Amino acid sequence: MSEDRLDVRKTYKLLINGAFPRSESGRSYEVTSAKGEFLANVAQGSRKDVRDAVVAARGAQSKWWSQSAYNRGQVIYRLAEMAESRRDELADHVRLAEGLSSKKAQASVSRAVDRVVWYAGWTDKIAQILGSSNPVAGPFFNFSVPVASGVVGVLCEQESSLEAFVNAVLAPIAVGNTVVAVASEKRPTPAVLLGEMTATADFPAGLLNVVTGFTGEVAPTLASHEDVDGIDLGGVDEEFADELAQLAAGSIKRVLRPGPNEDASLRRLRAFVETSTVWHTIGQ
């Protein structure tokens, strides 16, 4: 950054339904770098922002799901392209947020981008891995296919600002869900930036919604929201996760409680997938 010029600072806002509003509550909170220096006043999302995000995610879900798996892969891959082309910016954010060296921040971005690519490739494979043709004892054609659970809430990990976000958020997206993500409370800016990139990556509005703010404040709303089909409790401690899991039971949500720093895996992809089995008669 040039030192003889006053830089133009960015406002970190929410991502809801493809738009970047401030919190409807008008609140923001101060986010600092790992070293404690002021970074930004980030929008402090409210329960109503969560509600709006869920509505947006629900609205986008059938559209996202009805796109071909090939197309969904292209959209996700496009995000990798965007992230790669703005990798320095991302690395800068990660460096400040996590207090890493430039080199380590760059490496983290590389892993994150590669992870996006990995997910992009899953969209049109998952049905072949999780689906099956079932040899029932009768004149029926019977097949099982994985179907997205619907709307998934993701409480993102607190320490890893970008990599964990990518891991947690793109898994449900790759298999056809739409997502309401609550970014790391103290390190939200890389997630916000990646969210901004989705706007130029052909992500349909509402596919990924990112709420920043206090996890403890908004998580119960997300966990108890009856129109949310599944929730990833990766970003909260055990005790809080227990509490949220109880709330999630109210509408029989699918609950994922990943281990600390749990990597991308088939388990993540399976977590928010339903198996739909179709029978059809076979006869002349």
Partner 1 sequence: MPVIENESQLRALLGGLSGVDAVGAEARAAKLATRSLKKSTKLAALDLAISMVDLTTLEGADTPGRVTSLCAKAMHPDPSDPSVPSVAAVCVYPDLVAHARSVLGASPVKVASVATAFPSGRASLNVKLMDVREAVSAGADEIDMVIDRGAFLSGRVGQVFDEVVAVKEACGRAHLKVILETGELATYDNARRASWIAMLGGADFIKTSTGKVGVNATLPAALVMLEAVRDFAETTGVVVGVKVAGGIRNTKDALRYLVVINETAGSRWLSPDLFRFGASSLLNDLLMQRLKQRRGVYVRPDEFSGD
Partner 2 sequence: MSGDLTNSSLGAMAYDPAPESAAIARLKPDYGLFINGEFSDPSSHEAFASLNPANEEPLANVAQASAADVDRAVYAARRAYDNVWSKTTGAERSKYLFRIARLIQERSRELAVVETLDNGKPIRESRDVDIPLAAAHFFYYAGWADKLDHAGFGPDPKPLGVAGQIIPWNFPLLMAAWKLAPALAAGNTCVLKPAETTPLSALILAEILQQAELPEGVVNIITGDGSTGAALVDHPGVDKIAFTGSTEVGRLIQQRVASSHKHLTLELGGKGANIVFEDAPIDEMIEGIIDGIFFNQGHVCCAGSRLLVQESVADEVLRRLIRRVDQLRVGDPLDKNTDVGAINSAAQLARIEELTAYGEEEGATRYTSSCALPDKGYWFAPTVFADVSQSHRIAREEIFGPVLSVLTFRTPDEAVAKANNTNYGLACGVWSEKGSRTLWVAERLRAGVIWANTYNRFDPTSPFGGVRESGFGREGGRHGLEAYLNV
Rule CB under 8 A: which residues touch partner 2? 129-130, 132, 134-138, 140, 142, 144, 147, 149-150, 226, 229, 242-243, 245-246, 248-252, 254-255, 266-267, 270, 274-281
Q: How many residues bind partner 1 (CB under 8 A)?
A: 7
Q: Which stretch binds partner 1 (CB under 8 A): 37-45, 96-104, 212-220, 275-283?
A: 275-283
- Partner interacting with residue 149 (select from partner 1, partner 2, none; CB below 5-8 Å by kind): partner 2
Least CB distance to partner 2 at residue 121 (A)? 18
Q: How far is the CB of 9 from partner 2 (least distance, A)?
A: 42
- Compare residues 200 and 266 and give the one whose CB is closer to partner 2: 266
Burial 204-225, CB ≥16 within 10 A → b, else e: bbbbbbbbbbebeebbbbbbbb
Task: Report the nearest approach of partner 2 to the CB of residue 151 (Å).
Answer: 11
By beta-carbon proximity to partner 1, the closer residue of 26 and 139 is: 139
Contact 149, 273 (CB under 8 A): yes
Amino acid at 268: R
Binding mask 100-139 for partner 1 (x = CB under 8 A): --------------------------------------xx
Q: Is 27 helix (H, G, I), strand (E, B) or coil?
A: coil
176 or 195: CB nearest partner 2: 176
Q: How far apart are CA 110 and CA 130, in angstroms?
A: 29
282 near partner 1, rule: CB under 8 A: yes
Give dist(CA 191, CA 40) in Å, integer: 14
User: Are the CB atoms for 57 and 157 separated by under 8 Å?
Assistant: no
Closest CA to 175 of 108, 265, 283: 265
For residue 255, give Cα distances in angstroms to 111, 166, 201, 282.
Answer: 26, 18, 29, 38
128 binds, options partner 1, partner 2, none, Cβ within 5 to 8 A by partner type: none
Rank residues 85 and 277 by Cβ distance to partner 2 and give the closer one.
277
When the beta carbons of 139 and 259 are compared against partner 1, the nearer one is: 139
Q: What is the 3-state secondary structure (H, E, C) of 80-147?
A: HHHHHHCHHHHHHHHHHHHCCCHHHHHHHHHHHHHHHHHHHHHCCCHHHHHCEECCCCCCEEEEEEEE
Which residues of this protein are in contact with partner 1, per CB under 8 A?
Answer: 138-140, 281-284
